[in-house]
Amino acid sequence: MENNIKTRVVGVDISIERTTCAVIDIRGNIIAESFFSTMDFSDINSYVSTLCEKIMELVMANGGYETIRSVGVSAPSANFVTGCIENAPNLPWKGVIPLAALMRDQLGLAVGVANDAHATALGELAYGSAHGMKDFIVLNIGVGLGSCFFSEGHEHHGAEGFAGEFGHTCVAEGGRMCTCGHEGCIESYVSARGIVQTAQEVLAEIDAPSLMRNQEKLSSRIIAGFCDQGDELAIETFRRTGHILGIGLANYASVINPEAIILAGGISRAGKWLLDPLRESFEKHVFKAMQGKVKIFVSNLENHTRDVLGASAVAWDVKEYSLFK
Amino acid sequence: MENNIKTRVVGVDISIERTTCAVIDIRGNIIAESFFSTMDFSDINSYVSTLCEKIMELVMANGGYETIRSVGVSAPSANFVTGCIENAPNLPWKGVIPLAALMRDQLGLAVGVANDAHATALGELAYGSAHGMKDFIVLNIGVGLGSCFFSEGHEHHGAEGFAGEFGHTCVAEGGRMCTCGHEGCIESYVSARGIVQTAQEVLAEIDAPSLMRNQEKLSSRIIAGFCDQGDELAIETFRRTGHILGIGLANYASVINPEAIILAGGISRAGKWLLDPLRESFEKHVFKAMQGKVKIFVSNLENHTRDVLGASAVAWDVKEYSLFK
């Protein structure tokens, strides 16, 4: 290690199903990876112990401890400012978990945590389509609707690290009940669950044949598949979804004036069925001086790769010596 | 001038009625002021010549040219990034006016321009209630509905300097026609014109006596006065206005996570008639983790003073040597 410059980081992606650890170099090459099941650990302390053991095993087998600058974690409901996972509804650990501090104490390395939208944004900036951009929005459309934005080259966290809660902005007063307890949040329309609910409304409203009628359990992925087969009611479902998302994003963009809006997450893979109505509605509603100027596109990083790359970008975003604060 | 440190700036506030020039020191003391009528000049070149003459007269009579660091201008539709006034609907000069460059060439001083909301925000940060805040929103509610926000201590301009167009976010699809040509913009509900239109709707809907019925020409100021006299329909008018603004600001705050929202402009002087329903609606709609945490209050800088102080803060925000770029 000439000059003691460390050229690798560890990226950790925590999702409900599994935890992925990876050693990643400065160019975004994944040197090595390992996985384990997140849900096996109902106790946070045993989870953190296992996670740190897995990280150390991986690091020792791939270049050694001295090569690692820092650790980045992408997790639901993670707050970069506090280093905590805060009241994550879908993870086994309740309340506020000081994950960065717990890991740092066991690893002796600086650790940063960020929620999935923030990690995705950092990954897009470091290795993806946002490279070189100063002002942009990233949207993660999946189980929930996460977002974050960059302001003049830095990530905007807000006063307490809660910024980017676009999913819980109101698009329909007195509308659908959201998981957060409010009515009319855009997430209750634009998310895996929201799209299925829209499909059910479309099926009830429009008396026409549809592949969706024979389906025992609908999902946004199945509905997108039916769009590809030309199913009109499936297409109508995504048309309504894209229309609402277009209004919401137009409002978001009118306030931020971004260069681009990057879509990631499972739902973004529906492609044109979502994007075409989204763009039409966006252009109709965005502030006039921005019309035709905001690029809207789906992340070009692969889904699996994006999560650990995003986590590795969080690691680079942390001060190496924040350990000694 | 020891060390050649310049301790004064010139602040210029351009409003439709008049242009105010002031020499202001580092603590926000207004040393001297002068005014002239903006609308007397239909030609931008003769306007700029007169403006620069007035500035030089004021400067020469109050400490001299060597004391002045830079010039800041607050003007409608001004863009800090480009230094231009861009298509201002209410000023006599059409198209894109490179005001900063024109003034800089005549004065030999660095010149910055910003729209009224941005200038107000800089003024609040330098001399007002936002002092020390890193993340906050400023709203200017008057003829239009302007806004801007600070992100981690710096003003967010966006990719092209158009950020903060909160007034043109959609709150009612297919709603009122806005001056921008879109339907349902929040400005068409929350602005001088919007409030009068709401009053007319309230008068038509509710069959009750009201001081507003005897009024030949209603204005938001007159309606606020009737609220003070206990007029129920005037109060209902502001209740509806505050309710809509509360939803819009809750959405804005959910994305930005500000420490505070500061209200300025003529309409903000309606006080509790606007603020009480606004706060109620805001708390009902904002992202749950932010409930009870975002301070919402009216600017404590006086209206007239605020405009030139804001302009002077723009002057401090400009690089002294941007002149030589």
Contact call for residues A257 and B158 (beta carbons, < 8 A):
yes
Helices (H) and strands (E) in chain B, counts: 8, 13
Please tell me which of the candidates A159, A255, A290 has its beta carbon nearest to residue B257. Answer: A159
Contact assignment for B159 to A134 by CB distance below 8 Å: yes
- What residue spans in chain A does CATH classification 3.30.420.40 cover? 2-115+304-324, 129-300
CB count, 10 Å around CB of A60?
10
Residue B136, pLDDT above cutoff 70: yes
- List the structure tokens of B321: 């040597």
Q: Which residues of A touch B163 (CB under 8 A)?
A: 135, 255-257
Backbone dihedral angles phi then psi of residue B137, each to the nearest 5 degrees:
-115, 140
Contact assignment for B158 to A147 by CB distance below 8 Å: no
Taking CA–CA distances from B247, the nearest residue in chain A reads A170
Please tell me which of the candidates B159, B257, B288 has its beta carbon nearest to residue A135. Answer: B159
DSSP for residue B10: E
Q: Which stretch of DSSP H or E encloses residue B104?
A: helix B99-107
How close, in Å, is residue B61 to chain A by CA atoms?
40
- What residue spans in chain B does CATH classification 3.30.420.40 cover? 2-120+304-324, 129-300
Contact assignment for A258 to B158 by CB distance below 8 Å: yes
ipTM: 0.89
Residue A2, pLDDT above cutoff 60: no
pLDDT, residue A3, reads 62
Mutate to test the interface with A, among B255, B280, B281 (most CBs of A within 10 A): B255
Q: What is the greatest pairwise CA distance in chain A?
A: 71
Please tell me which of the candidates B135, B250, B252 has its beta carbon nearest to residue A255. Answer: B252
Contact call for residues B194 and B176 (beta carbons, < 8 A):
yes
Q: What's the CA gap between A272 and A279, in Å, rounded? A: 10
Residue A325, pLDDT above cutoff 50: no
Q: Which of these, A60, A54, A9, A58, lies nearest to A36 by C-alpha position?
A: A54
pLDDT, residue A310, reads 93
Residue B159, pLDDT above cutoff 80: yes
CA distances from A13 to A130, A158, A241 (A): 20, 23, 28
Q: Is B207 helix (H, G, I), strand (E, B) or coil?
A: coil
Q: Tens digits of per-residue pLDDT, B230-262? A: 999 999 999 999 999 999 999 999 999 999 999
- List the structure tokens of B123: 């003024």
pLDDT band at B2 (very low <50, low <70, confident <90, very high): low
From A100-114, A296-310, B242-256, the region with the lowest mean pLDDT:
A296-310
B255 in reach of chain A (CB within 8 A): yes
CA distances from A264 to A186, A191, A197, A321, A323 (A): 16, 12, 21, 32, 32
Please tell me which of the candidates B170, B258, B284 has its beta carbon nearest to residue A285. Answer: B170
The CATH number of A129-300 is which of 1.10.10.60, 3.30.420.40, 3.10.310.30, 3.40.640.10? 3.30.420.40
Q: Tens digits of per-residue pLDDT, B69-92? A: 999 999 988 998 899 999 887 788
Average pLDDT of A39-66? 96
Taking CA–CA distances from A183, the nearest residue in chain B reads B285
B247 in reach of chain A (CB within 8 A): yes
Fold of the domain built from segment(s) A2-115+304-324 = Nucleotidyltransferase; domain 5 (3.30.420)
Residue B60, pLDDT above cutoff 90: yes
pLDDT band at B3 (very low <50, low <70, confident <90, very high): low
pLDDT band at B325 (very low <50, low <70, confident <90, very high): very low
What are the CB-based long-range contacts (under 8 Å, 24+) for B206-214? Answer: B206/B233, B206/B236, B208/B232, B208/B233, B210/B234, B212/B237
Please tell me which of the candidates B154, B160, B166 has its beta carbon nearest to residue A255. Answer: B166
Contact assignment for B255 to A86 by CB distance below 8 Å: no
- CATH entry 3.40.640.10 includes domain B2-120+304-324: no
- List the structure tokens of A137: 């929005």
